[in-house]
Structure formats: C-alpha cells, structure tokens
Amino acid sequence: MLPRGIDALDARLIRALCETPRAGVMELARRLGVARGTVQARLDKLQQRGVIIGFDPDLDLRAMGYEVLAFVSLEIAQGRLEDVCSHLREIPEVLEIHSVTGPGDLHCRVVAHTNEHLQAVIGRILEVAGIDRTTTQIALTEQLRYRVLPLVELAIDAEPDRRRPAAR
C-alpha cells in the first residue's frame, strides 16, 4: 500500500507547480534546489498515489460566457442513484456531483449562460426518472475560490527547519 499524506518536499513541489503551472522538471528542480531526477520521481509518485490528479488548465467560466453559477440539491428515489448520476454526467453544465447527508441526496455545481439557460439546464436534469425534488441556489458572488494550497502549506510548516540546530 502506498503511503498517505505528503512531506515537506512534496508540498514545496506542489506549491511550485501551483505558482508556475507550466514549469518543466528542470525549472522545478532549480527552484527547489534538488536534482531533476528527484523532482521527476516525486511527481510520478504523487500521481501514482492519486495526490496529483491532473494538470488541466484552470479556466475562468465567466470569461467563457457562463455567468450563472448555481448549486442544485436533488432528492432521489430509492434505488435510482446510479441512473440519475449517469444522466447528470451527460449534461456538460453539471460540473460536480456529490452524494451528501441532510435533506438532499445529491449536491451539484451547475453553470449556465443566463438564468433562462439555467432553467433549461434544470429542465434537462429533470428528464430522468428518479428525481423526487430539486432545490436550486444561485451563487451571487464568490467569497473564497476553491483552494487547496493552504493544506499543502501545512505540510511545509510541519517540517522542522533543518538549517537550525535542534534545541537541547
């Protein structure tokens, strides 16, 4: 079984990738002060372990014309979860689907060009049998963008500073 978590070098590597996503292995090695082979091996292991799951571009959906962001909660009939999720995966405007606890069964992040387009997307969501009820909330402004770097920074902060002698 592969180890869980990340160490300080992994964290520094991830931070460098976030700061300069298009940097090559040689540039990352120079920035981190380690060998190119070390960076490549760490990247490979982080991918094998599922820590790094992609190198997709970070897109601004508003710049792409998707002005409306909404969260749609779905209550699903017993035994229909897989059918509903399969249907939702076919709708490009459905960005994420999460099974949740609480009043709904699924929580979806959905985008649309306009409120009218959102209504059409919700209509498409409802085309599958097995959805008992939906509740939609439209996001007005983004207060905190999705982020993971602060979690990575925790691993860096937890690493003892090797330049300082240990206290006696």
Residue with tokens 């897109």: 59
Q: What is the pLDDT of residues 105-163, one digit of tens each?
A: 999 999 999 999 999 999 999 999 999 999 999 999 999 999 989 999 998 887 765 54
In whole angstroms, give the CA distance from residue 56 to residue 106.
25
CATH number at residue 40: 1.10.10.10
Instruction: Tell me the residue type at 84.
Output: V
Residue with tokens 């964290």: 11
- DSSP class of 101: S
Looking at the structure, do residues 81 and 105 belong to the same domain, yes or no?
A: yes
Going by pLDDT thresholds of 50, 70 and 90, the confidence category of residue 56 is: confident
Average model confidence (pLDDT) across the chain: 91
Count up the domains in the chain and report the number. Answer: 2
User: Looking at residue 157, what is its pLDDT?
Assistant: 83
In whole angstroms, give the CA distance from residue 145 to residue 163.
35
Looking at the structure, do residues 42 and 72 belong to the same domain, yes or no?
A: no
Does residue 2 form part of some domain?
Answer: no
Domain housing 128: 68-138
CA atoms within 13 A on the CB side of 9: 15
Q: CA triplet 56, 58, 60: central angle to 5 degrees?
A: 140
Q: What is the pLDDT of residues 30-48, one digit of tens each?
A: 999 999 999 999 999 999 9
- pTM of whole model > 0.85? no
Q: Report residue 34 as tokens.
A: 């380690």
